[in-house]
Amino acid sequence: MTLFSFSSHELDFIDDDEFHEECGVVGIWTTQDAASLTALGLHALQHRGQEASGIVTYDGNQFHTHRGLGLVGEVFDDPRVIASLPGGMGIGHNRYATTGETQLRNVQPLYGDFEFGGFAVAHNGNLTNAQLLKQSLVRRGCLFQSSTDSEVFIHLIAISLYSNVIDRFIDAIKQVQGAYSLVALSKDMLIAARDPLGVRPLILGKLPYSQDENSWVVASETCALSSMGADFVRDIEPGEVIIIDHDGVRSIHPFADNTSSRFCIFEYVYFARPDSVIENKSVYMARKKIGAELAKESHVEADVVVPVPDSGVPAAIGYAEASNIPFELGIIRSHYIGRTFIEPTDQIRNLGVKLKHATNRAVISGKRVILIDDSIVRGTTSKKIVEMVRAAGATEVHLRIASPPTQHSCFYGIDTPAEEKLLAHTHSIDEMCKLIGADSLGFVSADGLYRALQEDKRNNQNPQYCDACFTGDYPIPLTDHDMQLVKSK
C-alpha cells in the first residue's frame, strides 16, 4: 500500500465537477507584525484558493517576500518564515489558477523593482484583454516572467509615462478590461482598487487594538477581518481606488461616471464564506433565503431535506424551514481528503465521490429525500451522490439546486469548464434529471435568486448583478476570447 500527499490538481479525479474558487487578497498598513496578521487573513480566505500562497512586507528599508505552493498553513508553517518577513506593511494572496499554470513563478504577490522603488501587487479576478495587452507589451520589449494575466499590471505600471506611483497605477487599470480586486504595496503606501463594475469583492477594515491609530486592513471578505480582530469599515466601491499612507485613507474615483454595480451573484451562491457580509448582505442569510425561494418554486412532498455538504447546508436549512420538512445531515463530508491516503488506482478513481462523501443511512433509509446542492457543473458528481443516496435506502431522491442552470462559462475569475462541458448548456432539465438519475430536478429561477437577495426580480434592461454564468449576459467585453474565436474560424 502506497501512502502519499498530493496537490489540488492531483485531486482532479475527485473535484473536476465543481466550480473552483478564484483568489483571496489581504493588505495590512502600519502594524508591528504585518506578516502574522496577513497570514491570519489568508487562513480565513483559504476557501478562495488552495493552490498557492504568498506574502510581501516592507520594513521601512527593504521589501521581503515568501511564496510557495500549497495551503497557507503549509507555506507559512515555520515560525522562521514569518520572522523573515519583518515590517508593518504587507500584502498577501491565496491563489487558485484561472490563468497560468500552477508553478512558483505564477504565485502572487508579484514584485518588481521600479525607478520609484519596489512595488508588489496581488490580484483577484481575471482580465479579458490580457493577451492583447501582453502582445503589445512584448513588442515594446517587456519580458514576462510568469504566465498569469496579473503580470500585465506590473508592466503597464513600469512603462507608464506618469511620474508618481498613483498616476502610474491609475494609468494601468484604465487600460485593462475584466474583473479585478487589487491590493498593491509601495514603500510609501498601500493601494486597493476594484474594477468599475465591482465584480469581485473587496472591503476596508480597521485594527482598533493597534498602538498606531492609522492601522488599516484591506481584504476580499469580512471573514478575514474577524480572524485578525479588525473592525469592518465599508465595502470599497466599484471603480474606487483607496490609498492608505502615513496621512491616513483617501479615495479616488478615476472612472468618473463609468461605474455601476455588477457584483458576482455566485459569491452569494457558493464562493464567499458563509459568515462573511458582502455588499451589506449576510452570505449565510442570503443562502437560507435562496433555499426558501427554491422551496416556494419547486416544492415536492418528501420526508427529509438533506444538503450536499458543505455548500448546500444554508440553502437546505432555508428550504426545510419554508417547507416544514425536517432537515437532516444525510451526507457526511470528509474534510481530510487531499492529505495522505491510498494511492488513486483505477478502482479508487471510480469510487471518487465516496472518498469525499459518505451517506448517513440512519436518516436516509426508507425516506423520500430532497437533496439540496448549490449548482450542477458537469453533472458527474450529482449522479454519483444520487446513486449513493439510493444505495443508502432512499425510496425517492429529488434534487434541488440553489442557483439557476449554469449554461455559460465565466471569464471574470472563476475557473469553469468550456460551455460544451457544462451539462445545462447541452441538455434540458428533463434530460439532466434522467442522466443524473433523480426522481425530479429543480433549480431556483433567476428571479427567485434575485428575490432572495432583496431585489424584486432580475431587471433585464439593467441587471443588478453579474449573472453571466446563468444568462450569458456578459457585462465586460470578452476581447481575448472573441479574438480566439475569430482565429479559430
Confirm whether 433 is a catalytic residue. Answer: no
Tell me how far apart the alpha carbons of residues 238 and 253 are, in angstroms, rounded to a whole number. Answer: 9
Q: Where are the beta strands (DSSP E) in 166-298?
A: 178-186, 190-194, 203-206, 216-219, 231-235, 241-245, 248-252, 263-264, 277-278, 281-282
Are 426 and 397 in contact, with CB atoms under 8 Å apart? no
Angle 106-110-111 (CA atoms, 0-180°, nearest 5)?
140
User: CA torsion 146→149→153→159, rounded to 10°?
Assistant: 70
State the Cα–Cα distance between residues 12 and 349, nearest whole angstrom: 10
Rg of the chain (C-alpha set): 23
Question: Is 294:313 a contact under the CB 8 Å cutoff?
Answer: no
**The three grid cell numbers given for residue 103, joined into one nine-digit string:** 508553478
Distance between CA atoms of 333 and 306, rounded to whole angstroms?
A: 12
**If phi over 0 gives left and psi between -120 and 50 gives alpha, with beta otherwise, what is residue 405?**
beta
| Cα–Cα dist 263/276, whole Å | 15
Catalytic residue among 23, 264, 466, 469: 23
The three cell numbers locating residue 411: 471569464
| CA dist., res. 401 & res. 374, Å (int) | 5
Q: What cell numbers appear for 229 in the block?
A: 480582530
How many other CB atoms sit within 10 Å of the CB of residue 136?
A: 16
Provide the grid cell at 356: 469525499
Helix (H, G, I), strand (E, B) or coil at 276: coil
270 contacts 254 by C-beta, under 8 angstroms: no
> What residues does 370 pair with on adjacent strands?
305, 398
Alpha helices in 12-104 (DSSP H): 12-15, 34-44, 72-75, 79-83
Residues with active-site annotation: 23
